[in-house]
Amino acid sequence: MGALSKSPWIIHYDGSSCNGCDIEVLAALMPRFDLERFGVINTGNPKHADILLLTGSINEQNKSVVKNIYDQMPHPKVVVAVGICATSGGIFRECYNVQGGADKVVPVDFYVPGCAVRPEALIDAAVAAVALLDKKRDAMKAGKA
Amino acid sequence: MSGRTIIPFGPQHPVLPEPIHLDLVVEDEKVIEAIPRIGFIHRGLERLVEKKDFIDFVYVAERICGICSFIHGMTYCLAVEEVMKIEVPARAQYLRIVWSELSRIHSHLLWLGLTADAFGFESLFMQSWRLRELILDIIEETTGGRVIFGSAKVGGVRRDISAEKMQEIVKKLRSYQKEMDDIGKVFLGDLTVQHRLRGVGVLSTASAKALGAVGPMLRASGVSSDIRMMGYSSYGTLDFAPIVEQDADCYARCKVRIRELDQSVGLIESAASKMIDGPIDVKVTGTPNGEFFARSEQPRGEVIYYAKGNGTKFLQRMRVRTPTFANITPLLETLKGCQLADVPVIVLTIDPCISCAER
């Protein structure tokens, strides 16, 4: 267990979600669910972040923003697609301005189901992400990534 | 005197969970002008009416916004029901009031928390959201969802609330009211909070009217306007008046919302007392043919749904005008002349819901 897995910092970006998943991301950090007890801190700065939480689907306007945030994050990093819109486009996948899930522009490690996603599912994702962060860090140390 | 600088604000920034971009033209620390750029979360869902039939579209309408989802779904239903001349049973109308007001309470508590966060009062933020979870519990018990209810449908509602459950809800809300008062006292009485809110972001009554502000933004500028007073969905049978404040600053907007928490609890109580036994929905036959503008009051202000049917099961056109979109112009006006450090608080006092605004 390194510093990364003891206290992973998250950054959240709303692609084109309906806000439902966004407020659940925040709710997961609040007293009831308290993701912060795992050392998870919500940061606004991509350069401080280890885990990228993406809600909502990808469209023409936010493509470059999502790519930009991802590129600015230091290695190792984990991307979590939060909710069905970030996974596949969900109920909006037939809209003319929706191109699909987050994996259209960045490599996604975890997909969290739900519309809207439940905070419990987000906690699961965060715990899984911590394990993956460790793995990625070890791979980097061994010069494999 | 230094020259002018443009500071970009957003789309990804720590203040709001949602993307909006503002180019802030500043002279030293003073904001001269704000130029918005929106469209980051445009999905184009109005055209989904061509692919989903008018019954299914309620699910899409609910997902226009995750915070006021029920009222979106309900207003869409109001529009279609008017086109199809469907009479919604009284019990369903009161159930709609109960869920609308529960969404209003949870939305206002969410807003209070985010505002506390914007002026740096972290523990107040946590307290507001803790209280909001208790409201979400009631919502989850009655609908099964936390943010997306899935309870509205064309012709009525999908779920019923039993009389005992209704009494229990009213009792719970009464006990939460005390906690809401405690939070309200901090927002309205704390000296440091007042220092951040009083006299900040003033929007005069004249400009609020001229720029088409809606909801708490308008009411805080001394205009008595609340679409619920038009009496849709049996609101006309309840006794209440719009909550108006005169100061027109961030403090007044905060006060309007805190007073509305109390009002909503009162409305739920009177809706519960008027609820009579009966069906909660009617069978929907035929297809919509005709057009109608439905208006309702969301936590953020007036929302307008326009539905036009041509006798097929797919609507020909559906249009939404959301409160945040209406409030962006007044926001730009209030940002003029403010300090750069006050921008997050002023942006938050319109209670921006960008996913509504851009759809």
Q: How do residues B221-230 score in pLDDT, each as one tens digit?
A: 888 888 888 8
Distance (Å, rounded) from C-alpha B326 to C-alpha B357? 8
Which pLDDT belongs to residue B309?
Answer: 86
Q: Is A70 left (phi over 0), alpha (psi -120 to 50) or beta?
A: alpha
Measured between CB atoms, which of B18, B44, B148 is closest to A14?
B18
Q: pLDDT tens for residues A88-128?
A: 888 888 888 888 888 888 999 999 988 888 888 988 888 88
- B281 DSSP assignment: B
Q: pLDDT tens for residues A26-71?
A: 888 888 888 888 888 888 888 888 889 888 888 888 888 888 889 9
Say which residues have a Cβ less than 8 Å from residue A98's Cβ, sequence separation at least 6. Answer: A16, A57, A58, A59, A89, A92, B43, B44
A→B contacts (Cβ < 8 Å), by residue, are 11-27, 30-32, 43-46, 56-57, 59, 61-62, 65, 69, 91-92, 94-98, 115-116, 118
Distance (Å, rounded) from C-alpha B58 to C-alpha A81? 25
| CB A15 within 8 Å of CB A56 | yes
Which pLDDT belongs to residue A81?
Answer: 92
The average pLDDT across B317-345 equals 86
Q: pLDDT tens for residues B94-108?
A: 999 999 999 999 999
| CB B268 within 8 Å of CB B173 | yes
Element (H, E) at B21: strand B21-27
Query: B109 in contact with A at a CB cutoff of 8 Å?
Result: no
- Is B18–A56 a contact, with Cβ atoms under 8 angstroms apart? no
Whole-number percent of chain B with pLDDT over 70: 98
Distance (Å, rounded) from C-alpha B59 to C-alpha B242? 30
CATH of the domain at A40: 3.40.50.12280
CA distance A23 to chain B (A): 8
| Domain encompassing residue B128 | 40-358
B9 assigned to some structural domain: no
Q: How many domains does chain A have?
A: 1
Q: pLDDT tens for residues B273-302?
A: 888 888 888 888 888 888 888 889 889 888
| CB B58 within 8 Å of CB B73 | yes
| Domain encompassing residue A119 | 3-141
- Is A96–B44 a contact, with Cβ atoms under 8 angstroms apart? yes
Query: B64 in contact with A at a CB cutoff of 8 Å?
Result: yes
Distance (Å, rounded) from C-alpha B336 to C-alpha B340? 10
Which pLDDT belongs to residue B56?
Answer: 86
Distance (Å, rounded) from C-alpha A96 to C-alpha A107? 23
Question: What is the side-by-side order of every strand in the sheet holding A51-55?
Answer: A41-42, A9-14, A51-55, A78-82, A110-112
B16 assigned to some structural domain: no
Measured between CB atoms, which of A14, A44, A98 is closest to B43?
A98
Residues of B in contact with A98 (CB under 8 A): 43-44
- Between residues B14 and A1, which one has the greater pLDDT? B14
CA distance B348 to chain A (A): 15
Instruction: Give the pLDDT band (50/70/90) at residue B15.
Output: low
Q: Does residue A73 carry a pLDDT above 60?
A: yes
Q: Does residue B336 carry a pLDDT above 70?
A: yes
Query: B37 in contact with A at a CB cutoff of 8 Å?
Result: no
B8 assigned to some structural domain: no
- Indicate the average pLDDT of chain B: 86
Distance (Å, rounded) from C-alpha B118 to C-alpha B254? 13
| Region of poorest pLDDT, from B79-83, B231-235, B320-324 | B231-235
Distance (Å, rounded) from C-alpha A129 to C-alpha A44? 19
Q: How many domains does chain B have?
A: 1
CATH of the domain at B60: 1.10.645.10
Which pLDDT belongs to residue B160?
Answer: 86
- Is A23–B11 a contact, with Cβ atoms under 8 angstroms apart? no
